[in-house]
């Protein structure tokens, strides 16, 4: 931050509550291990709670498959209805929204109304079932990353500095590192810039994995895969093709390369991709982000 905006942050206490940070890290490690062994962790927890675990390996595969499909269908149907209920809720004024946000016990209708009002103010576009679902999938952080990587790049340093200063004021010159790091976008944007991710966003340019720039891009990404994992939570390995790596990173800004087909001579056919600009109203949302600074 000091290098970015010429302010001196040497007064910041970065070692705030080290014992809490150590405990947080250890607990996070346990949770990560449990997630990697999710099935075993869940079964172990059920046994500890006194449940009897019955091995279902001998169950009828056809019946099991039918039950699974039935549960999936019911889940999708309920979620679709939930998204539609939110989108069809009545509009709230700012005063009405504030009252709902302060209210503890809310009816389902009130929760739907609050969610719609918050989405309407977050995106300033029509709230549709599709928007509700996209927001659930983390669309806003993706658009924000895209904005600060492109149109809002000149405002990013000031944006991060404001967040840093607000946290310092609240913490009396002390910071809780996990929260501080989570609120800073500049490192992730700089990383995507150094990887030259935007080179893939030229419409009608066909891309092949064997292209020189794709090979160089993969080499750079693999070389810095640990940094990419730390800052973007994207796993990169030597096994991934250049196109696969590009798709993984473009997902951070909700974009992708479209498959064109397998082109070339019979002996040397390759999968070809190109970028097609999305038609998802993100330009309108970028204008909103610009107005917020």
Q: Which residue has the higher pLDDT, 144 or 13?
A: 144
pLDDT score at 78: 96
pLDDT score at 5: 53
- What is the radius of gyration, based on Cα positions, of the chain? 24
Q: Examine the domain organization and report whether 18 and 84 are in the same domain.
A: no
Q: Examine the domain organization and report whether 161 and 242 are in the same domain.
A: yes
* 293 in any annotated domain: no
Residue 223 and residue 194 in contact, taking contact as beta carbons nearer than 8 Å? no
Among 50-54, 99-103, 129-133, the range scoring the smallest mean pLDDT is 50-54
Q: Which residue has the higher pLDDT, 174 or 10?
A: 174
pLDDT bracket for residue 67 (50, 70, 90): confident
Please name which of 280, 218, 288, 292 lies closest in space to residue 253, comparing C-alpha atoms: 280
pLDDT bracket for residue 61 (50, 70, 90): low
pLDDT score at 257: 96
* 49 in any annotated domain: no
pLDDT bracket for residue 166 (50, 70, 90): confident
What is the rounded distance in angstroms from the CA atom of residue 80 to the CA atom of residue 277? 27
Q: Examine the domain organization and report whether 208 and 233 are in the same domain.
A: yes
Percent of the chain past pLDDT 70, that is, above it, reads: 91
Residue 147 and residue 289 in contact, taking contact as beta carbons nearer than 8 Å? yes
271-287 confidence digits (pLDDT tens): 999 999 999 999 999 99
Average pLDDT estimate for 222-240? 95
* 183 in any annotated domain: yes
Percent of the chain past pLDDT 90, that is, above it, reads: 62
Q: Examine the domain organization and report whether 131 and 89 are in the same domain.
A: yes
For residue 154, the tally of other CB atoms under 10 A from its CB is 8
* 6 in any annotated domain: no
* 52 in any annotated domain: no
Q: Which residue has the higher pLDDT, 179 or 3?
A: 179
pLDDT score at 4: 53
* 1 in any annotated domain: no
Q: Examine the domain organization and report whether 100 and 235 are in the same domain.
A: no
* 5 in any annotated domain: no
Q: Examine the domain organization and report whether 133 and 202 are in the same domain.
A: no
Please name which of 136, 138, 145 lies closest in space to residue 184, comparing C-alpha atoms: 145
What is the rounded distance in angstroms from the CA atom of residue 258 to the CA atom of residue 118? 32
Overall domain count for the chain: 3
* 213 in any annotated domain: yes
Domain boundary, last residue among 92, 113, 137: 137
Q: Examine the domain organization and report whether 211 and 273 are in the same domain.
A: yes
Domain boundary, last residue among 137, 153, 178: 137
Q: Examine the domain organization and report whether 133 and 147 are in the same domain.
A: no
Residue 58 above 70 pLDDT? Answer: no
Q: Examine the domain organization and report whether 152 and 256 are in the same domain.
A: yes
pLDDT score at 211: 94
pLDDT score at 2: 55
pLDDT score at 20: 81
Domain boundary, last residue among 82, 110, 137: 137
What is the rounded distance in angstroms from the CA atom of residue 91 to the CA atom of residue 114? 9
Residue 1 above 60 pLDDT? Answer: no
pLDDT score at 11: 61
Q: Examine the domain organization and report whether 147 and 217 are in the same domain.
A: yes
**Domain range holding 90?**
62-137
pLDDT score at 38: 85
Q: Examine the domain organization and report whether 149 and 282 are in the same domain.
A: yes
pLDDT score at 176: 77
pLDDT bracket for residue 144 (50, 70, 90): very high
Average pLDDT estimate for 47-63? 74
What is the rounded distance in angstroms from the CA atom of residue 166 to the CA atom of residue 181? 14
**Average pLDDT of the residues of the chain:** 89
Q: Which residue has the higher pLDDT, 172 or 281?
A: 281
Q: Examine the domain organization and report whether 119 and 86 are in the same domain.
A: yes
Residue 264 above 80 pLDDT? Answer: no
pLDDT score at 63: 66
Residue 216, both tokens: 């160089």
For residue 145, the tally of other CB atoms under 10 A from its CB is 19
């Amino acid at each position: 931050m000091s290098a970015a905006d010429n302010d001196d942050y040497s007064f910041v206490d970065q070692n705030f509550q080290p014992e809490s940070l150590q405990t947080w890290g250890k607990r996070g490690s346990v949770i990560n291990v449990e997630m990697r062994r999710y099935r075993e962790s869940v079964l172990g927890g059920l046994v500890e709670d006194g449940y009897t675990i019955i091995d279902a390996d001998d169950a009828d595969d056809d019946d099991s498959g039918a039950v699974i499909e039935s549960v999936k269908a019911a889940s999708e149907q309920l979620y679709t209805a939930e998204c539609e209920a939110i989108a069809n809720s009545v509009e709230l004024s700012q005063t009405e929204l504030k009252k709902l946000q302060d209210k503890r016990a809310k009816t389902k209708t009130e929760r739907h109304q609050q969610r719609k009002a918050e989405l309407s103010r977050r995106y300033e576009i029509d709230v549709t079932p599709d928007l509700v679902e996209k927001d659930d999938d983390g669309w806003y952080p993706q658009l924000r990353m895209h904005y600060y990587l492109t149109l809002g790049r000149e405002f990013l340093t000031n944006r991060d500095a404001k967040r840093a200063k607000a946290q310092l004021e609240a913490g009396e010159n002390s910071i809780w590192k996990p929260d501080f790091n989570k609120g800073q976008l500049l490192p992730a944007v700089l990383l995507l810039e150094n990887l030259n991710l935007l080179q893939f966003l030229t419409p009608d340019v066909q891309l092949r994995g064997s292209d020189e720039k794709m090979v160089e891009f993969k080499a750079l990404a693999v070389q810095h895969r640990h940094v990419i994992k730390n800052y973007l939570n994207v796993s990169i390995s030597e096994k991934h093709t250049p196109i696969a790596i590009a798709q993984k990173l473009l997902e951070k800004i909700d974009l992708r390369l479209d498959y064109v087909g397998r082109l070339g001579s019979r002996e040397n056919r390759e999968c070809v991709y190109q970028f097609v600009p999305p038609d998802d109203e993100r330009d309108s949302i970028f204008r909103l982000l610009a107005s917020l600074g």
